[in-house]
Amino acid sequence: MKASFFYLHGVSPSCLCSLHLTSVPPACFPLYPPAAVPAPTLWVLQGQKEYFFGDVVMLVCTSPRNITGKLMYQIFGDGGWAISGFSSTNNYTFEFVLSRMQHRGPHFCSYSIGRGPKQLKSPTSEELVIKIGDHLPQPLLMVESPQGEVMAGDLLSIICKAPGNVTIRRFHFYRDGQEVLPVAEGSEDNAADHGGSLRTSMVLQFPRAGPQHSGNFTCKYEEKKPERWIPSFTSQAVSISVNPPKKGKSCFFLLRLLVVGGCFLTINSLILLFFWARGRSKDASFLYGASPAGISQLDARSPYTLQEDNKYEEH
């Protein structure tokens, strides 16, 4: 008997089923490739309404639960960047730092799975827009040193000054890209805590600068807003080199100390000599000058003079 070709009720129309009257069960042959696997969902773990450069973002691409096996995920942005990776679960997480303009705008994800010799690729997810806000103006970084240049053992002060009025801020200092904690570096000003404080600037101090304090320094600040801390752009870098003490500097300092000390002693000696001489002159005027009332001039003369007078009287 000839075979009859028809669609069975409840069978996908993509399959043409042939049923021989004496054969059970029916066989199904695809007329065209099956539909693609379902699209994934792209979302942000601990998402925020607005992001800023330097923030860490965790994107999660989730495939449907009925899709099992080893999947290859791809997350990409409309700005032209993409990342891919494998996962045996229905979630693939990608963590990155917002650091370039390509991270703005919509983002998508997709996945692919092997089915026999074929690779089935899903449609792209719905777009996920990452809104990146504008940073605050950059601060000014200044270096203060008593000698004009940073010498080993000198006091080194690095000042980060923010523009605008006084508001709740917290400051961050960096040396060669690594954050420097003021408390750990011996700064007496430890207001760079997580709570912040009312200020326009902050000073990072090294009481005795050394070679370990050399490097490229930068700073930035954050301002407290109702929902979060808003960061500023990073300041211009300032290169600091701590120079060793100059030869002869200690000898010169000792010589200067001796000269100053000698001058001080000389001046004090002259002052004492002046007052001593003045006191002697007063005593002399008392003995040889006008005598006080009740004392005759003869009584005021010296014993030697009296003896001479006695000699003349004997002759």
Same domain, 111 and 150: no
Name the domain count of the chain. 3
Please return the burial class of 67, using the count of CB atoms within 10 Å of its CB with bins 0-12, 13-18 and 19+: middle
Q: Domain span at residue 172? A: 140-240
How far, in Å, CA of 21 to CA of 2, rounded? 8
- List the alpha helices (DSSP H) in the chain: 249-288, 303-314
Q: Is the peptide bond before 106 cis (omega within 30 degrees of 0)?
A: no
3-state secondary structure 48-61: CCCECCCCEEEEEE
pLDDT digits (tens, 9 = 90+) for 18-55: 334 344 444 444 433 454 789 999 999 888 888 888 88
Q: What is the pLDDT of residue 273?
A: 78
Instruction: With beta carbons less than 8 A apart as the criterion, state whether 182 and 158 touch.
Output: no
- Taking Cα atoms as reference points, which of 115, 214, 117 lies closest to residue 156? 214
Report the pLDDT value the prediction gives residue 298, as an integer from 0 to 100: 42
Whose tokens are 């990776």? That residue is 85
Sign of CA dihedral 156, 157, 160, 161: negative
Residue 70 resides in a domain: yes
* Cα 84 to Cα 248: distance, rounded to the nearest angstrom: 63
Domain's final residue, options 68, 100, 130: 130
CB of 162 closer than 8 Å to CB of 232: yes
Query: 């080893």: which residue's tokens?
Result: 70
Residues of the chain falling short of pLDDT 50: 1-33, 35, 184-194, 286-287, 290-302, 305-306, 310-315
User: From the CA atom positions of the chain, what is the Rg in Å?
Assistant: 47
**pLDDT for res 221:** 93
Residue whose entry in the numeric block shows the structure tokens 């994107």: 59
Is residue 64 included in any domain, yes or no?
Answer: yes
Domain final residue pick, 130, 159, 185: 130
Strand 27-30, strand 118-121: pairing: unpaired
Q: What is the DSSP letter of 166?
A: -
105 CB burial (10 A radius; 0-12, 13-18, 19+)? middle
Triad 311, 314, 315: Cα angle to 5°: 90
What pairs with residue 83 in β-bridges?
A: 75
What pTM value is reported for the model? 0.50
Give which of 165, 159, 215, 224 is closest to 193, Cα–Cα: 224
Question: Does residue 255 fall inside a structural domain?
Answer: no
Residue type, 125: S
149: number of Cβ within 10 Å: 12
125 and 144 in one domain? no
pLDDT for the residue numbered 54: 80
Question: Please, are residues 135 and 231 in contact by the beta-carbon 8 Å criterion?
Answer: yes
Q: Which of 99, 130, 161 is where one domain is finished?
A: 130
Are 108 and 163 in the same domain? no
pLDDT in tens, 270-301: 787 777 777 766 655 544 554 444 444 444 44
